[in-house]
């Protein structure tokens, strides 16, 4: 799990409050970032997708979701530079799916 979630870092940020961290993770699970990003990109709305990816990047950084954060950084760069983002999008989807499993195991 350490590659997906840096629990020590996250708890350090929250003063060791595991209950609060789990509450924040629950909010993360309720969001539909990947669905939104896919819909936006399918519609050719890269500007809105960049914003959604940027939000996901910030949330994942604050929650210490390391793989999701790294993948968000990569796809954000692709979108900003007009590069092919298909591999980055797949990696992001895979990272979110794996992180959801890890969160549910906490």
> What's the confidence (pLDDT) of residue 106?
84
User: For all residues of the chain together, what is the average pLDDT?
Assistant: 95
Inform me whether the pLDDT recorded for 96 exceeds 60.
yes
pLDDT digits (tens, 9 = 90+) for 35-52: 999 999 999 999 999 999
- Please write the tens of the pLDDT for every residue from 12-21: 999 999 999 9
- Distance, CA of 104 to CA of 37 (rounded, Å): 23
| Longest Cα separation, the chain | 42
Q: Is residue 93's pLDDT more than 80? A: yes
Taking Cα atoms as reference points, which of 81, 96, 104 lies closest to residue 38? 96
CA 88 to chain centre: 12
pLDDT band at 1 (very low <50, low <70, confident <90, very high): very low
Instruction: Return the structure tokens found at 51.
Output: 């914003």
Strand, coil or helix: 57: helix
Architecture of domain 7-105: Up-down Bundle (1.20)
**How many helices (H) and strands (E) in the chain?**
6, 0
Give the number of C-alpha atoms closer than 13 A to the C-alpha of residue 100, restricted to the C-beta side.
Answer: 14
pLDDT digits (tens, 9 = 90+) for 25-37: 999 999 999 999 9
pTM: 0.92
């Amino acid at each position: 799990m350490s590659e997906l979630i840096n629990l020590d870092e996250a708890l350090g940020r929250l003063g060791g409050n595991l209950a609060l961290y789990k509450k924040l993770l629950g909010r993360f699970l309720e969001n539909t970032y990947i669905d939104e990003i896919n819909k936006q990109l399918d519609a050719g709305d890269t500007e809105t997708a960049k914003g959604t990816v940027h939000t996901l990047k910030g949330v994942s950084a604050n929650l210490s979701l390391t793989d999701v954060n790294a993948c968000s950084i990569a796809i954000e760069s692709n979108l900003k530079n007009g590069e092919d983002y298909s591999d980055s999008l797949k990696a992001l989807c895979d990272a979110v799916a794996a992180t959801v499993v890890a969160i549910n195991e906490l």
